[in-house]
Structure 1
Amino acid sequence: MFKKFVLLFLLIPLFLSAQVNFRQFFADSTLRIDYYHIGDAAQEMITIDQYYLQPYWSGSLQHLIDPFDNGKYYIQVFDSVTKQVIFSRGFNSYFGEYQTTSQAKKGIKRTYHESALIPFPKVPVVFRLFARDRQNKLNLIFEQTIDLQKIQISKENRAAGAIVFKSHYSGDPHKKADIVFLSEGYTVKDSLKFKNDLQRYTRVLLNKEPFKSYQGKINIYGVFKPSAESFCDEPTHEKFRNTLLNCTFNSMGSYRYLLTEDNRTMQDLASAVPHDAIIIMVNQQRYGGGGIYNFYMDFTTDNLYSENVFIHEFGHSFAGLADEYYASSTAYDEFYPPGVEPTEPNITRLLDPQNLKWKKLVEPGTPIPTPWRKQEFDQLQIDYQKKRQRLNQEIAELNKTKADSALLAAKKKEADDLAKAFNKKVDEILHKDQYSGKVGAFEGAGYLSTGMYRPMLDCVMFRNGDKPFCQVCAQRIREVIEFLSE
């Protein structure tokens, strides 16, 4: 067990980042610190795996200190002599999500592989990793002095054999938000499909505000390396494929949750290009995806809602946005503790209504909390979720028994038609509401029907469909792009 130390400062203002002279402390490359994150709901520990030199530092040379106070975890790098904080980042992790599950609360320990990417230090530094407790206080869980003259660093090309595409290039990676799409479930024969999918989803992202208005501050790359087999693992369908990044549905027991635990291979592949954000593009038709803040996201390419899922999950991984929905099933058990304000910018416990975190966007006269047709929506959701769960089970059974393809296709179409009809009815409820298009505090968010509030009635982070980010989410995305591109 590590002795815990409460972090005395949770947020360092953005302007302080200008006080860190990048060239004084860092070389223009990346030190990747791989480690194992081990524990359960009550305990966690860190053990170092390996240090790697990666050829690119893609982050800003000006903004080295994280100003967002978001994420369950937080890394800080100190100059070992002056004790000055010279780099910091907040993030979430797979292990952090596991801690909220019933298995973790039963004391079942698991090990996850993770990485911290920091500018390559010229001087000995102290690396610290903090974790938030249930009150969102940051506590030190790991500390390591790193003297590059005394440790072994792997310097080989970890992305050898990968093919790189520049899908959208605006200039110097230090002054851009750099995004990389990684191939998953694409065989050698699927290489052209990967290129076409890369172009398609580049357009999807850059046609979505606020990314559309910031195209000149964004670089997008694709990195292709073939898998032995197409698609990805589907455990409930008893389908297992040999793929490069080992993505799988049913992550943490959730039917549609798609993630990978193969962090090492993912980081190796991403090292082929400068990157601030990792997107795993999975060559698969089934609905699903996942996104973890400042870690990675993945999504499937060929579903009816693939474009919507892609944008939604990127909101998680790129900007640290919370889920605003509350009716769909998840693997989490009390993800947000009662009486504690979440760190995410787009949901609130409304513990202090007079100081709503997005109050500057609320029009005078808007009631807080803001009434809406919640009871009507909730009943519609209950009916839909029951039908969707039944169809998911039927589709899984048809896959297991290798049923006739026409029968399976008909059942999938029934599921798609159900989703379309549901979204049409929801549109009628939300768009005719008195406060449609207004910023307020609408109850129902963050997997909770009561006691948690979202900024607007509708948003990419609330439900599927072709809709914009709400004003609060869009504002945070703009802030992240600016942070990375100055």
Structure 2
Amino acid sequence: MKKLMLTPILVSILIVSVSSQDLSTFNKYFIDETMRIDYYHIGDAKDEFITLDQIYKYGIWAGSRVNLIDEMNLGRYCVKIYDSASGELIYSKGFDSYFGEYKTSSEGIDGIKKTFHESAIIPYPKNKIIFAMDRRDEKQNLFEFFRKEIDPENIMIIRDEIKDKLVKVYNADSNSDPHNRADIVILGEGYTIDEKSKFEKDLKYFTNVFFGMEPYKSNQDKFNIYGVYKPSEDSGIDEPPANLFENTVLSCTFNSMGSERYILTEDNKAVRDLAAHVPYDAIYIMVNHARYGGGGIYNFFCTFTTDNQFRDYLFLHEFGHSFSGLADEYYTSDVQYNDFYPVGLEPLEPNITALTDPANIKWKDLLTPGIEIPTPWDKAKYDSMDYKWQAERREMNKKTAQLKRERQSPEVIKAAEDAYARKDKEHSQLVDSYLRKNANYGKVGAFEGAGYVANGMYRPMLDCIMFSKGERPFCKVCETHILKVIEQYTE
């Protein structure tokens, strides 16, 4: 794989003209700068509403100036921007959010309302716009539930220069023009002032991991990758079960949504303020921690830890969620969602299906000729093996958390962590060996078990980086979809 040089940069980017493309719509309605609309998303499973926070003007526009309307039809929500005078739709973007996940939790279903901070990033409008928000109904159709007129000339829009003396920006892999590239920013979390060199090393390592994986490898010229470092007071992040809490730049934490390995942050403003130092389409949060964990929310952000044995997998798997809207294909792990995929409805995600219409399965064009639908795969034996490990894994993690709470010696804690890592690796190898022996391994069909659902939900191939841990590729369906997403960011 290509070896990448890291150099500190000042963010001033030469914009390459795109005379071969139609920029008439962009030039009519927008200027080449960014508007960030911050708002609060409030509610529960039944009710939700939006209140505006602040609006910012800064930087150049990172996205495509040609592909202004989102045609992916993914995400629970969609930001829509209309020209106020004509009512014409001039920009849209589908996404998921932390609130969208919260409302599927037991607390959300029980009517406990909660507030989350979110941001809409759009090209800066020339004239007054309507900022509208759509959400999905029970049949997956979008409907508008919020709208507000915004005047880009409003004197209360924040126009401060983006600067922070503690922040350092790195050019990890740049092909220049952000309009014609998918622009990725990797934010450092939990790196102290003494761990700057580790951030640089990690940034270089994971940039190489990214471009070692298809379809990113063959499309390296369609990406820009930046790193943004700001020192945290403490190293690592919060581990609530272990009663360990750290003072960090982005306030990330394990045990988000009650899931021991799920890492998110509710400090959206801190994330967006740090990311604003570069033009970006997608956000990685690189968490300086040895414990396994991560998370990814579509067109929101993704997180991963840097120093565990499955770090490459985490880095690529979570980005599959946040960049491409891919679903988790596994189903045996505990999650805190209730009816994440409602029974009887076809999921929006491209890589799982409820098989409501087998003759017209969504990846019909990629099916292995003559494959049986649904596709047999000795599921019962796999279930027995994996559910057993999941139960054992939970107990081992509880024990380690207890040792940390009791402030046992580093040697005792490390012994427990090493024992877990060893068994986790052994189980991963066992799963890999078991799947590879199946007669339908490597074929595209419809394999039952996907999207946190053991029965009635199907994935395209037996294995994929969205299904199991370890060194493995995206399945053909996932890879095909990722290519479509990449093209949305190019002109």
- Per the normalisation by structure 1, the TM-score is 0.95
Aligned to 1:55: 59
Alignment of 1:145-224 (within 5 A): 145-150=149-154, 152-161=156-165, 162-224=167-229
Aligned to 2:18: none
Rounded Cα–Cα distance in structure 2 between residues aligned with 1:82 and 1:355: 39
Q: Select the residue among 255, 263, 287 that pairs with 1:258.
A: 263
Aligned to 2:350: 345
Rounded Cα–Cα distance in structure 2 between residues aligned with 1:277 and 1:476: 17
Alignment of 1:215-364 (within 5 A): 215-364=220-369
- TM-superposed CA distance for 1:277, in Å, is 0.4
The one-letter amino acid of 2:159's match is K
Q: Is the 8 A contact 2:124 2:152 kept in 1?
A: no
Rounded Cα–Cα distance in structure 2 between residues aligned with 1:159 and 1:297: 24
Rounded Cα–Cα distance in structure 2 between residues aligned with 1:400 and 1:148: 51
The one-letter amino acid of 2:436's match is H
Aligned to 1:367: 372
Rounded Cα–Cα distance in structure 2 between residues aligned with 1:351 and 1:18: 39
Is 1:81 matched up with 2:94?
no
Aligned to 2:37: 33
Aligned to 2:102: 98
The one-letter amino acid of 2:133's match is L
Aligned to 1:5: none
C-alpha RMSD of matched pairs (Å): 1.2
- TM-superposed CA distance for 1:404, in Å, is 2.1
- TM-superposed CA distance for 1:151, in Å, is 5.5
- TM-superposed CA distance for 1:150, in Å, is 3.6
- TM-superposed CA distance for 1:19, in Å, is 8.4
Rounded Cα–Cα distance in structure 2 between residues aligned with 1:154 and 1:24: 23
Is 1:428 matched up with 2:455?
no
Rounded Cα–Cα distance in structure 2 between residues aligned with 1:81 and 1:223: 39
Rounded Cα–Cα distance in structure 1 between residues aligned with 2:283 and 2:423: 32
Q: Select the residue among 45, 49, 53 that pairs with 2:49.
A: 45
The one-letter amino acid of 1:318's match is F
Is 1:441 matched up with 2:446?
yes
Q: Is the 8 A contact 2:40 2:117 kept in 1?
A: yes
Rounded Cα–Cα distance in structure 2 between residues aligned with 1:265 and 1:19: 33
- TM-superposed CA distance for 1:380, in Å, is 0.5
Q: Secondary structure at the match of 1:115?
A: strand
Aligned to 1:64: 68
The one-letter amino acid of 1:153's match is I
Structure 1: 5+ residue stretches without partners = 1-16
Structure 2: 5+ residue stretches without partners = 1-20
Q: Is the 8 A contact 2:134 2:142 kept in 1?
A: yes
Q: Is the 8 A contact 1:129 1:142 kept in 2?
A: yes
Q: Is the 8 A contact 1:113 1:263 kept in 2?
A: yes
Rounded Cα–Cα distance in structure 1 between residues aligned with 2:371 and 2:90: 42
Figure out how many residues of one structure are paired with residues of the other and give that number: 470
The one-letter amino acid of 2:123's match is P
- TM-superposed CA distance for 1:370, in Å, is 0.7
- Per the normalisation by structure 2, the TM-score is 0.94
Aligned to 2:465: 460
Rounded Cα–Cα distance in structure 1 between residues aligned with 2:442 and 2:130: 47
Q: Secondary structure at the match of 1:328?
A: coil
Q: Deviations over 1:144-185 (max 9, x none)?
A: 111222462001134422211000011201001100000110
Going from structure 1 to structure 2, the CA distance change for 1:39 and 1:151 (only over 3 Å counts) comes to farther
Aligned to 1:382: 387
Rounded Cα–Cα distance in structure 2 between residues aligned with 1:403 and 1:134: 49
Rounded Cα–Cα distance in structure 2 between residues aligned with 1:454 and 1:262: 34
- TM-superposed CA distance for 1:278, in Å, is 0.4
Q: Secondary structure at the match of 1:466?
A: coil
Q: Is the 8 A contact 2:23 2:65 kept in 1?
A: no
- TM-superposed CA distance for 1:428, in Å, is 2.0
Is 1:144 matched up with 2:145?
no
Q: Select the residue among 23, 26, 29 that pairs with 1:22.
A: 26
Rounded Cα–Cα distance in structure 1 between residues aligned with 2:123 and 2:218: 29
Q: Is the 8 A contact 2:324 2:482 kept in 1?
A: yes
Rounded Cα–Cα distance in structure 2 between residues aligned with 1:463 and 1:364: 25
The one-letter amino acid of 1:242's match is N
